[in-house]
Structure 1
Amino acid sequence: MTRTQSAYVDWFVSAQDGLRLHLRDYGSPLDPGLPVVCLPGLARNGADFGPLAEALAAGAAGQKRRVIAVDYRGRGESDYDADWRHYDLAFENADIQAQLAAVEIHEAIFIGTSRGGLHAMLLAAARLALVRGVVLNDVGPVIELQGLSRIRQYLRYPAAPNSLADAIDYVRKTMSAHFPALSEAEIEAYARASFQKPGGTFGATFDPKLVKPLEALRLDEPPPDCWRLFEALADVPLLAIRGGNSDLLSPETFVEMTRRHRNCATYVVEGQGHPPLLMDDAAIARICTFVAEAEMA
């Protein structure tokens, strides 16, 4: 455990191969509510969940609770891996389990954005008793090629603004098409989550080698679907969220998820693409309602 921030404590724990992994710990282990674990997207980090984590920790879902937001290897404040082949779901999922064991999380509600949602499904398949509820943020068993291609292109040419002003300008220019309704506060918060480093400097916050596993993907044919993995959530309370402008989760897959899961609630974030930022009051309130309901299930 290291420095204490205004809302969270930083933890650094060791992966099975010795890599140092970072997580943010909001709230207290003594809080009565069921813990929530936040799992970010492919090139994202735990800072994405700041406003949501603070609300949940403060009791917005009925009780104060502990909230854990992880950084995968090669992202945020976790160590970068010398072997890019370890940037895969299996290694990362083992890391997540090691992180949760280190901070003594034995059951939780999981909020997974994009890649984080795949991790939530994998955790349910491997350790169902750990998973008391899941929020899938703009991800499902079928991943659209258009969105995957866009993400790969972004990772090929990652931005590295060196000031807050440059970061805000970059976010405003690159996200306006799919996120036309963002407020100035949301733009700044997302810019900070994307590019702010410890100590207040700005730059890239993920290993550029993250693109290498994606380079091997063939984007002229659909990737294998994950419907069988989705079945691991069959008995788990589920909230599926989709950005109204998403290019990764189609409306058809979104509807099919509700058909195949008997306890799947849905929420669409209009005016946002992939993935919804989960920083606006309405999205935070919807997730808090789900957490309160899942806790009682």
Structure 2
Amino acid sequence: MADFEQHFIQSADGLSLGYRVYAGDPAQMPLICLPGLTRNARDFHQLATLLTAQIVVAPTIVSVDYRGRGTSDRAADPATYNIGTECQDLLLLLDHLKIDKACFIGTSRGGLILHILTSVAPERIGCVIFNDVGPVLEIQGLRDIQSYLTGAPALAGWPEAVRHLKSIHGQGFPALQEDDWQDLAQSIYVDRDDRITADCDPAIGRAFATLPLEEPLPDLWAQFDQFADIPMMVVRGENSTLLSEATVGEMQARRPRLRAVVALGQGHAPLLHVEPLARDIISFLNSVTGD
């Protein structure tokens, strides 16, 4: 498995924010990995392991814990759990690491943060992989997320955690093998006080679970159009209810060089290290480095 170093910075409002660094060639543009709504840096460990081993000249990989997730502090004010504040936290991290430009992988919420980043600091974005997210979020997918966040229980042990994940996501993820489900459980949950619970501030899930979804959310096409003509890739889960084929088609119409890939046998959001998707990502990143 790839080795990483755990680090922390302090946010503008005094929170300790965690991130992992997988060391690579400093001459390469670094890769910044941004997880989903209630997820954390561990989501990208298996992918980082593959990339470190299989990219011709592997970049440094940085995997982020947003405020309230993983190793980062929980916020005293839950209102700061928003993509604008999280984008500012990201800029703080880039400045701290002296990263002028990076390639980004944005899973779900991570992709939304990138839409904000391109509005405030487009020069920092060298390439993008959107993981099952785009400028339009389908209301059914948002309702599906609400459903499983609303019913998130504390679990008695890791086998129960795996069974719980399969009961929620099994139909949408037939491509996953048993070890994938176990890895997924270990990335989402943490053993705290002899109970297995989601590794994030419960306030994040509660706020999203009460989001009114009678009408679609505003789209982000104006922000998407501000992305420079950079290498771009979008991954759509074959069984995703959040990112539609129509939205991917419109993204390609606006950015003809955008590479679109379907994660077969996966829903929202695809595990990026599962084959053959991992090979597509490696091919894309190799093309970006020119090797």
> Normalization by structure 2: what TM-score?
0.93
Partner residue of 1:13 out of 9, 12, 22: 9
Structure 1 residue 52 corresponds to structure 2 residue 47: yes
Name the stretch that deviates more: 205-214 or 194-203: 194-203
C-alpha offsets along residues 158-196 of structure 1, whole Å, 9 cap, x if unaligned? 233242222212122221111122111111111110113
2:97 and 2:57 mapped to 1: Cα distance? 20
Give the conservation status (yes or no) of the 8 Å contact 2:156–2:194: no
Against the structure 1 CA distance between its residues 41 and 134, is the aligned structure 2 distance closer, same or farther, given a 3 Å change threshold?
same
- Which residues of structure 2 form unaligned runs of 5+? none
1:120 and 1:186 mapped to 2: Cα distance? 27
1:6 positional shift: 5.9
- 1:281 corresponds in structure 2 to 275
Query: Residues 285-296 of structure 1 correspond to what in structure 2 (within 5 A)?
Result: 285-296=279-290
Structure 1 residue 151 corresponds to structure 2 residue 162: no
Task: Specify the code of the residue in structure 2 equivalent to 1:209.
Answer: A
Quote the RMSD (CA, aligned, Å). 2.1
Give the conservation status (yes or no) of the 8 Å contact 1:155–1:208: no
2:161 and 2:23 mapped to 1: Cα distance? 29
* 4+ aligned runs moved over 4 Å, structure 1: 197-201
1:262 positional shift: 2.4
Structure 1 residue 98 corresponds to structure 2 residue 92: yes
Query: Residues 246-265 of structure 1 correspond to what in structure 2 (within 5 A)?
Result: 246-265=240-259
Structure 1 residue 22 corresponds to structure 2 residue 18: yes
Structure 1 residue 181 corresponds to structure 2 residue 187: no
1:203 positional shift: 2.3
- 2:59 corresponds in structure 1 to 65
1:261 and 1:214 mapped to 2: Cα distance? 31
Task: Specify the code of the residue in structure 2 equivalent to 1:7.
Answer: D
2:141 and 2:117 mapped to 1: Cα distance? 24
1:159 and 1:25 mapped to 2: Cα distance? 31
Name the stretch that deviates more: 192-201 or 239-248: 192-201
2:57 and 2:108 mapped to 1: Cα distance? 27
1:57 positional shift: 2.8
2:117 and 2:49 mapped to 1: Cα distance? 24
C-alpha offsets along residues 99-149 of structure 1, whole Å, 9 cap, x if unaligned? 222223221110000010111222222212211100001001110111111
1:174 and 1:180 mapped to 2: Cα distance? 12
> Normalization by structure 1: what TM-score?
0.91
2:60 match: secondary structure: strand
- Which residues of structure 1 form unaligned runs of 5+? none
- 1:241 corresponds in structure 2 to 235
Give the conservation status (yes or no) of the 8 Å contact 1:133–1:236: yes
* Count of paired positions: 291
Give the conservation status (yes or no) of the 8 Å contact 1:155–1:210: no
Against the structure 1 CA distance between its residues 111 and 161, is the aligned structure 2 distance closer, same or farther, given a 3 Å change threshold?
same
Name the stretch that deviates more: 169-178 or 84-93: 169-178
Against the structure 1 CA distance between its residues 162 and 13, is the aligned structure 2 distance closer, same or farther, given a 3 Å change threshold?
farther
2:237 and 2:269 mapped to 1: Cα distance? 6
Identity of aligned residues (%): 36
Against the structure 1 CA distance between its residues 21 and 166, is the aligned structure 2 distance closer, same or farther, given a 3 Å change threshold?
same
1:200 and 1:289 mapped to 2: Cα distance? 42
Give the conservation status (yes or no) of the 8 Å contact 2:38–2:205: no
- 1:161 corresponds in structure 2 to 155
1:101 and 1:198 mapped to 2: Cα distance? 33
Structure 1 residue 125 corresponds to structure 2 residue 111: no
1:126 and 1:182 mapped to 2: Cα distance? 38
2:256 match: secondary structure: coil
2:281 match: secondary structure: helix
Against the structure 1 CA distance between its residues 250 and 163, is the aligned structure 2 distance closer, same or farther, given a 3 Å change threshold?
same
Give the conservation status (yes or no) of the 8 Å contact 1:72–1:92: yes
Give the conservation status (yes or no) of the 8 Å contact 2:237–2:269: yes
1:229 and 1:130 mapped to 2: Cα distance? 15
C-alpha offsets along residues 46-91 of structure 1, whole Å, 9 cap, x if unaligned? 1111111122233x22202210000111111111111111010111
Give the conservation status (yes or no) of the 8 Å contact 2:154–2:195: no
1:13 match: secondary structure: strand
1:33 and 1:200 mapped to 2: Cα distance? 42
